[in-house]
Amino acid sequence: MSLIKISKPDRILAVDDTRDNLILVKTILESEGYEIELAMEGKTALEKVNQSPPDLILLDVMMPGIDGYEVTRCIRNDPNL
């Protein structure tokens, strides 16, 4: 009996406060077979990461509210992630 592993596409969370950047990233990466999720602010990104951690996060540094550095600190300080 052989086992066939069906793999899901890698999930990427793209976070940027500029909508055009997100659309560009989504278009390019989806065409390469990745599953893309988008967030326009740090708070939303953290919520999405806590709900379902992605395989990779593309994170803008300079954003209003919670910036990219703080998002990174929150993720690194969470032992569940």
pTM for the full model?
0.88
Mean pLDDT within 6-34: 95
Q: Kindly state the tokens that stand for 51.
A: 């709900």
Checking if the pLDDT of 2 tops 70, the result is: no
What's 81's DSSP letter? -
8 A C-beta contact, residue 42 and residue 63: yes
Mean pLDDT within 48-67: 96
Q: Where are the domains of the chain?
A: 15-77
Mean pLDDT within 9-33: 97
- Gap between the Cα atoms of 7 and 72, Å rounded: 28
* Cβ within 8 Å of residue 34, ≥6 positions away: 9, 10, 11, 12
Is the domain spanning 15-77 CATH 3.50.50.60? The answer is no
pLDDT tens by residue, 32-51: 999 999 999 999 999 999 99
pLDDT over 70 percentage in the chain: 94
